[in-house]
Amino acid sequence: MFGNIAGRYDLLNTILSFGQDRRWRKSSLRRLGLERSDVLVDIAGGTGDVALTAAKLQPELYAALVIDFSEPMLRLAGPKIQRSRARPAVLPIAADAVSLPLPGGCADAVTIAFGIRNVVDVPAALSEMNRILKPGGKLLILEFAVPKGRIFGPVFRWYFTRVLPGIGGLISGSRAAYEYLPRSVGEFFTPEEMEKLMREAGFNIIATKRYSFGVVMAYYGETNS
């Protein structure tokens, strides 16, 4: 499914979020607080937007790895990485979130943006993230949520379930992919359940933050020192 929409993925992210996707990435990464010489691993990294944003915000990173199981997505990441002329090494790697080809304790920070709900085994993926992080390592999870406001909530749900699939299908050529998006968000864990899973995987919850009236949740965790 993701390979089928790879060519229009970045464009649709911007259109369907009204340009807010860039703000969500920048704001959440600033709050994560990447430091000089850090190794960042971005899981479900798609075409590399999170890793490249991190490289701009912290040009003294040692490296940023873009992990994704969709090779068509990663093929699009390559030219973007070259055009960016990022100072840190930004490297695409084809792999699954539940079986990362990386040694334990190799990463200072792990991010996964709008990809955790697509993982078949979330607890296993969280355990893998914990495994590759150093003691005191940082985790950022960005994911869509269903806002609960009395006015904004119904308006968002109408847009998300009725308007978005039509626009996404028209531009990408795959309406099914953009019908899957609101369905998967509605069926995903609540913020409280997500925090519980993070704790069970060995993370301390440092903070959570809502963006755009609760459309997006950011979860910040840390491994034990």
**pLDDT surpassing 80 at residue 7:** no
Do 67 and 43 meet the contact criterion of CB atoms below 8 Å apart? yes
What's the rounded Cα separation, in Å, for the pair 42 and 174? 26
Q: Identify whether 43 is part of a domain.
A: yes
Q: Which residues pair with 109 in a beta bridge?
A: 40, 138
Q: Identify whether 151 is part of a domain.
A: no
Look at 69-78, 113-122, 158-167, 173-182 and tell me which has the smallest mean pLDDT.
Answer: 173-182
**pLDDT surpassing 60 at residue 3:** no
Do 73 and 3 meet the contact criterion of CB atoms below 8 Å apart? yes
* Residue 198 CB contacts under 8 Å (≥ 6 apart), including other chains: 126, 139, 141, 205, 219, 221
Amino acid 11: pLDDT: 62
What's the rounded Cα separation, in Å, for the pair 225 and 210? 27
**pLDDT surpassing 70 at residue 139:** yes
When pLDDT is averaged across residues 216-223 and rounded to a whole number, the result is: 97
When pLDDT is averaged across residues 185-198 and rounded to a whole number, the result is: 94
- For residue 55, the enclosing domain spans 19-146+189-222
The DSSP code for 188 is S
- Give the chain's mean pLDDT: 91
The amino acid sitting at 40 is L
Do 188 and 160 meet the contact criterion of CB atoms below 8 Å apart? no
The pTM assigned to this predicted structure is 0.92
CATH of the domain at 198: 3.40.50.150
Task: Give tens-digit pLDDT for 112-138.
Answer: 999 999 999 999 999 999 999 999 999
Look at 12-21, 104-113, 137-146 and tell me which has the smallest mean pLDDT.
Answer: 12-21
Q: Identify whether 13 is part of a domain.
A: no
Q: Identify whether 23 is part of a domain.
A: yes
Q: Provide φ and ψ at 120, rounded to 5°.
A: -65, -40
> Which carries the bigger pLDDT value, residue 151 or residue 31?
31
- For the chain, the domain total comes to 1
Q: Identify whether 119 is part of a domain.
A: yes
Look at 5-9, 18-22, 164-168, 221-225 and tell me which has the smallest mean pLDDT.
Answer: 5-9
**pLDDT surpassing 90 at residue 17:** no
* Residue 79 CB contacts under 8 Å (≥ 6 apart), including other chains: none
Q: Identify whether 6 is part of a domain.
A: no
| Structure-block tokens of residue 151 | 């006015």
Residue matched to tokens 């296993």: 124
Q: Identify whether 90 is part of a domain.
A: yes
